[in-house]
Amino acid sequence: MSEIYVVKIGGTSGVDVQLICEELVTFINQGQQIIIVHGGSNDANQLGDLLNTPAQFITSPSGFTSRYTDKKTLEIFAMAVNGKVNVQIVSSLQKLGVNAVGLSGMDGRLIEADRKKSIQSIVNGKRKIIRDDYSGKITKINPEMLMWLLSNGMVPVIAPLAISEEGDPLNVDADRVAAELAVAVHAKYLFLFTAVKGLMKKFPDENTWIPSLKTNEVEMGISYAEGRMKKKVLGAKEALDGGVGMVFIGDGRITNPIQNALDGNVTRIGG
Amino acid sequence: MSEIYVVKIGGTSGVDVQLICEELVTFINQGQQIIIVHGGSNDANQLGDLLNTPAQFITSPSGFTSRYTDKKTLEIFAMAVNGKVNVQIVSSLQKLGVNAVGLSGMDGRLIEADRKKSIQSIVNGKRKIIRDDYSGKITKINPEMLMWLLSNGMVPVIAPLAISEEGDPLNVDADRVAAELAVAVHAKYLFLFTAVKGLMKKFPDENTWIPSLKTNEVEMGISYAEGRMKKKVLGAKEALDGGVGMVFIGDGRITNPIQNALDGNVTRIGG
């Protein structure tokens, strides 16, 4: 039976979409089924600047950073991730002969989420409540459409939007999307590709890079992580708790990033 | 057996997406299967203006007008149609309890097209050859994914991008997309909703409105049509030639536009 790999392509500058897509062809030809999840933070920031709506970020009391997404920002975010990044990845894969299908989590209610109607945030050291944010916490995955696509030889490419109970699009963290999807489709591996070698005890000192963490060490991993890396390690925990075999967090800037990860050159979590 | 209606929601200012979506619920509840195709010309123009890349249009020697789509314009067009209009329509339908799925013609190679590598154009009365355009002529529809979605109670919402043989996204005319899809899925009816009452002998004089044309009168209809209406009538001809039962061209600004069309208040073509 073929195994499912969920591959998250980070939206950070430096991550090489083309190199990742090229290597995926090899694994698809070997019979693996692939689901791609992508971010788009860099493109969303650039488009926001061009449209005079520069990105703003908020930090939760527990130290997680996320995009402040009011209605206008959500519209820009959707244009960047659905209309630009997703189209580019689908095109890159189609050029390589892979029959990709671009979707967001809104489509077919693939990813349902609760809107965070009030968000605790730390601004200049002070707590503030934000109420006009359209980001969400994932509550349910409906994977039937993905399973049909996979069994018909297609590769779903998923933009990080979810749908609220009310039918509104919501910004959801792409690492968490990848983790939840990996659980829902019983993926063997989850790869979170970004522009660093993996988790480090003291970021950005690569000498403190962590080659592997056991499942019972993940909480400790979260405490090491800085900024957006926190969500990746949290995603890894969710994936492992949900039955995913192994999670790899690391370098998406290089040739053959999947093999590089399997070879032990990124942070491997699980087991 | 349920019948398939293909409904094209024009991107022209005035067309009321919400009213169309509301009426669709009635027809879905009656057992009809619906495929939506949308344009996005108005949103693409607005985004182009904001990004300092205003839309340019070209006119063919035979009088058809189309968007000049160089690489930059294509990127803007994709953001507007995939990232904005498509998301809005999917959201509107989901709010009404309809399980919509947003796609473009790139996804799963739904709509294959040949890039128009050199386009004859009339600029200030002179012929000019345009070679950097990324618009396409539809060559093939692969409707299997649509049929699966329909048979699973979902409503595909399709943005007017196609995929070239080389894997590039191409701008394709949404009226032609709707017509070709209607043929491929053996639709009973094709509705092309826009901001006028239908075809007129002398546009914009509504006193010259044409209530119906027989299939063998369509060529004459094309000769009456002005501007973008030419493509609608051409789409109608393609649909009828391909076996679609009836085509309705007309008012998408009103409550219950489908019933209004079926009641004979738009231009009905076929039979």
Cβ of B220 under 8 Å from any chain A Cβ?
A: no
10-residue stretch averages of pLDDT, chain B, 271 residues long: 92 93 97 97 95 92 86 97 98 98 98 93 87 95 98 98 97 97 98 96 95 95 90 96 98 97 98 90
Q: Which residue in the set B75, B83, B167 is minimally distant from A78, CB to CB?
A: B83
Q: Which residue in the set A51, A95, A161 is minimally distant from B166, CB to CB?
A: A95
Q: Do B149 and A108 touch (CB under 8 A)?
A: yes
Residue with tokens 């519209």: A75
Chain B residues in contact with A154 by the CB 8 A cut-off are: 108, 145
Spans of chain A, pLDDT less than 70: 1
> Per DSSP, which regions of A39-141 are E strands?
57-59, 65-67, 100-104, 111-115, 119-123, 126-130, 136-141
User: In angstroms, what separates the C-alpha of A239 from chain B's closest C-alpha?
Assistant: 26
Query: Among B47, B112, B250, which Cα is nearest to A51's?
Result: B47
**pLDDT tens digits along A157-196:** 999 999 999 999 999 999 999 999 999 999 999 999 999 9
Sign of CA dihedral B231, B233, B236, B238: negative
Chain B residues in contact with A99 by the CB 8 A cut-off are: 108-109
- Would you state the pLDDT for residue A159? 98
Chain B residues in contact with A103 by the CB 8 A cut-off are: 101-103, 107
Kindly report whether the peptide bond that precedes residue B204 is cis, defined as omega within 30 degrees of 0: yes
Cβ of A133 under 8 Å from any chain B Cβ?
A: no
> Are the beta carbons of B193 and B37 closer than 8 angstroms?
no
User: In angstroms, what separates the C-alpha of B221 from chain A's closest C-alpha?
Assistant: 36
Q: Which residue in the set B78, B94, B166 is minimally distant from A106, CB to CB?
A: B94
Domains of chain B: residue spans and CATH: 4-269 (3.40.1160.10)
Query: Among B48, B50, B45, B23, which Cα is nearest to B36's?
Result: B23
Is ipTM strictly over 0.90?
A: yes
- Would you state the pLDDT for residue B33? 98
Q: For testing the chain B interface, which of A91, A92, A93 should be mutated: the one with the most B CBs within 10 Å?
A: A91
Cβ of B95 under 8 Å from any chain A Cβ?
A: yes
Chain B residues in contact with A95 by the CB 8 A cut-off are: 166-168
Nearest CA in chain B to A148: B148
The CA-based dihedral angle spanning residues B28, B187, B18, B226, taken in that order and rounded to the nearest 10 degrees: -160
- Would you state the pLDDT for residue A199? 97
- Would you state the pLDDT for residue B228? 86
**Separation of alpha carbons B18 and B34, rounded Å:** 15
- Would you state the pLDDT for residue B13? 87
User: In angstroms, what separates the C-alpha of B161 from chain A's closest C-alpha?
Assistant: 10
- In Å, how far from its chain's centre is CA A195? 13
Q: Do A47 and B95 touch (CB under 8 A)?
A: no
Residue with tokens 């128009």: B116
A&B contacts, CB < 8 Å: 118
